[in-house]
Structure 1
Amino acid sequence: MSRPNEVEPPVLAAVRGGLGTLTLNRPASINALDHEMVALMTAALHEWAVDPGVRAVVVDGAGDRGLCAGGDIVAIHRDAAALQGADDEAVTDSASAAFWRDEYRMNADIAEYPKPYVAIMDGIVMGGGVGISGHANTRIVTDRTRLAMPEVGIGLVPDVGGTRLLSQVPDQLGTYAALTSVHLRGADAMALGLADHYVPADRLDEFRAALAERPVDEALAEHAVTPPPSALAAQRDWIAEVFAADTVAEIVENCRATGRPEAVKAAETIAGKSPTALTVTLAALRAAATERSLREALRREYRTSIRCVAHPDLAEGIRAQVIDKDRNPAWQPGRLDQLTGDEAAAFLAPLPAGLELTYPQR
């Protein structure tokens, strides 16, 4: 029993019956990830990977709102406000850069995990929440899942391997998801290949109990069901055509030209996002489609995250959406036609020697 003044850790780690469970434990913030949480998760995952007493790992979130709403963007805002216009070296020396380095390394570890890694993607799963679940070898969604990469709305570019995941989705549905920040339901995530199994939310407790007693495949056979149809996948024909364009401006124009209400709505949604983040995101998605590995993608995403900190849109986007909540960001520049391909390429360019994301030897 907890003592009255005892503070629970932000990640609860436990092993029972050979099942290692990591529960993100900041329910008031929908389990938003901070650096301490990344360190705790990484330590447990490394220990359990070589522990013969652990046969599988489950990751979930405390509370009833979601697995994880993303990274701690209030902390990132402090660096973004202080480092506008700073060079790469100054930004890579920041707390945000240190957080991203360890977070992205953990994302790579998850993708390569040697044991069943079961991510329960119930409720809100955004940004960093996708990083700890989307690369898992066993991804569970539910009827309550709301999965999104909403970075372009705060002046950031999808990271945590999100550009790689979305670039692999056929028919430009991943491009649509990245540029609109749409919330994908569990059935959508299944249809887009971003999840593997669908377990109704009211069966999750039984599913967790089964995991503690039986192999993962047996628990899945007992509790996973066929998902309902995906509303987003039903729109794949027009999305595949419209979102194949070479620029975001063309995509917006093509959406409006279709005359379809859902396409016009998508154009209006995109138009409210950061023009710089949108332009860099499209370039990043196209680059991700040709990359050989998640590690390569994460290295590129680290570059774009570093450059976003120094760009005014990140501080302004977080201010408008999270701090002041006026939902009225003043983007710089304010229009897509004020950006060039060279500006986007600069976000993806290699960092100076010694500043790139590296992966420690295990």
Structure 2
Amino acid sequence: MADEPSVVSAIDAGVATLTLNRPKSINALDQSMVTAMDELLRDWAADPQVTAVVLAGAGERGLCAGGDIVAIHRDASALSGGSADDAEAAASPSAAFWRDEYRLNADIARYPKPYVAIMDGIVMGGGVGISAHANTRIVTDRTRLAMPEVGIGFVPDVGGTYVLARAADNLGIYAGLTAGHLSGPDAIALGLADHYVPADDLDAFRKAIGETSLDASIAKCAQQPPESKIAAQRDWIREAFSADTVGEIIDRCRAVGTEEADKTAATIAAKSPLALAVTLRSLREATPSLVETLKREYRVSLRSLLNPDMAEGIRAQVIDKDRNPAWRHTGHAAVTSAEVDAFFAPLPDGLELAINVAPQEDSSV
């Protein structure tokens, strides 16, 4: 098992399948996997025999649980709380991984052929980046999708702020600040997915793509999704999450007076005040361009490595698992505008993320 490749590829009846193959870690991404995906997708884009690409995850647990959080913790622990600067953060292994990952996210968004992401089971963080930007996104009755970054003192990345910001009625802001799990119907309601195929029908769906066409396989296997539980609460979410600050959002949730709204307030209040403030601004000011959003997310990611809350959040949730992080700020009012601004400030010359965009490409990419 240890000798098996972490990315497995195959071509059958013109359909290229890319399978993430680290099931014990729920197919968490590392640098080698991102590189392999990039090479395969480029080759298939140029191969006239390939008519469509299907992305899936090995095992029964999910497509992808995100990136290697333990490796990020090593960098954050070494860089935060001291005298490290942007240049040192940009020289870290985590920064190298993000550069390649974010470029891959941009390439997926503009892929020239049908790119079908099977978002079955757990789809989190980096898993959202390689699936939610696809031109064909399939969720199931087992989908558990999340951008959980704020729970570890981080901020949604991999273009997550781009897709969440476009959800109607502030549902994306709700998802970003709570870091909660979304079902398949929730993902469709928020605009993170397109079609609902029951997990038991996935094999038939994938087979039909090669035997007929992608459109025919969707027509045959996709179903009307059940009601989204989050979308059903859109009225109070729209109002509560329109507030200007995180503190006001929490207060408005509490004022709703329902069990679900109270739970939402408590969930947000337990997270890093600084990460929440940066996340809210990231979502409110996301640009119409995925490329420009990814560039800004890269700035925020580097500054998060320098922020002690990220190392502390990963420690509490993943390393020691005591679920008791000691955040840098004890309350939301203690977070200053200057602290938030610093996350978004341009990087020094030569450190900004470079993503090539062809002149003819749509500005929304």
TM-score tier, shorter chain, comes to: over 0.9
1:154-208 CA-partner distances (Å, limit 9, x unpaired) = 0110000000100000100000000001111001111111110000001011111
Alignment of 1:270-349 (within 5 A): 270-288=268-286, 291-349=287-345
- Secondary structure in structure 1 of the residue aligned to 2:9: strand
Alignment of 1:227-246 (within 5 A): 227-246=225-244
Task: List gaps (5 residues or longer) in structure 1.
Answer: none
- Secondary structure in structure 2 of the residue aligned to 1:12: strand
Q: Is the 8 A contact 1:320 1:329 kept in 2?
A: yes
Shift of 1:227: 0.4
Show the counterpart of 1:24.
Answer: 20
Q: 17, 34, 48: which one pairs with 1:38?
A: 34
1:255-295 CA-partner distances (Å, limit 9, x unpaired) = 1111121111100000111111101000100110xx13100
Whole-angstrom CA distance in 2 between matches of 1:334 and 1:208: 50
Q: Is the 8 A contact 1:157 1:304 kept in 2?
A: yes
1:296/1:361 Cα in 2 relative to 1: closer, same or farther (>3 Å)?
closer
Whole-angstrom CA distance in 2 between matches of 1:236 and 1:92: 39
Alignment of 1:249-288 (within 5 A): 249-288=247-286
Shift of 1:361: 7.0
Show the counterpart of 1:59.
Answer: 55
Show the counterpart of 1:127.
Answer: 125
Whole-angstrom CA distance in 1 between matches of 2:194 and 2:92: 36
Q: Is 1:351–2:347 an aligned residue pair?
A: yes
- Secondary structure in structure 1 of the residue aligned to 2:70: helix
- Secondary structure in structure 2 of the residue aligned to 1:184: coil
Q: What amino acid is aligned across from residue 114 of structure 1 in structure 2?
A: P
Q: 1, 6, 10: which one pairs with 2:6?
A: 10
Whole-angstrom CA distance in 2 between matches of 1:350 and 1:285: 18
Show the counterpart of 1:167.
Answer: 165
Q: What amino acid is aligned across from residue 89 of structure 1 in structure 2?
A: A
Show the counterpart of 1:199.
Answer: 197
Alignment of 1:53-202 (within 5 A): 53-84=49-80, 85=82, 86-202=84-200
* Larger mean Cα displacement after TM superposition, 59-68 or 213-222: 213-222
Q: What amino acid is aligned across from residue 40 of structure 1 in structure 2?
A: A
Scaled by the length of structure 2, the TM-score of the pair is 0.96
Q: What amino acid is aligned across from residue 97 of structure 1 in structure 2?
A: A
Task: List gaps (5 residues or longer) in structure 2.
Answer: 359-365
Whole-angstrom CA distance in 2 between matches of 1:187 and 1:30: 22
Shift of 1:360: 4.3
Whole-angstrom CA distance in 2 between matches of 1:70 and 1:145: 14
Shift of 1:212: 2.5
1:336/1:143 Cα in 2 relative to 1: closer, same or farther (>3 Å)?
same
Whole-angstrom CA distance in 2 between matches of 1:360 and 1:79: 27
- Secondary structure in structure 1 of the residue aligned to 2:330: coil
Structure 1 runs of 4+ with >3 Å offset: none
Q: What amino acid is aligned across from residue 87 of structure 1 in structure 2?
A: D
- Secondary structure in structure 2 of the residue aligned to 1:327: coil
Whole-angstrom CA distance in 1 between matches of 2:236 and 2:180: 16
1:298-320 CA-partner distances (Å, limit 9, x unpaired) = 00000000000011111111111
- Secondary structure in structure 2 of the residue aligned to 1:210: helix
Shift of 1:322: 0.7
Shift of 1:345: 1.4
Shift of 1:249: 0.5
Whole-angstrom CA distance in 2 between matches of 1:25 and 1:337: 44
Whole-angstrom CA distance in 1 between matches of 2:151 and 2:320: 15
Q: Is 1:226–2:230 an aligned residue pair?
A: no
- Secondary structure in structure 2 of the residue aligned to 1:13: strand
Matched positions, count: 356
Whole-angstrom CA distance in 1 between matches of 2:187 and 2:148: 15
Q: Is the 8 A contact 1:24 1:62 kept in 2?
A: yes
Q: What amino acid is aligned across from residue 121 of structure 1 in structure 2?
A: M
Q: Is the 8 A contact 1:283 1:345 kept in 2?
A: no
- Secondary structure in structure 2 of the residue aligned to 1:57: strand
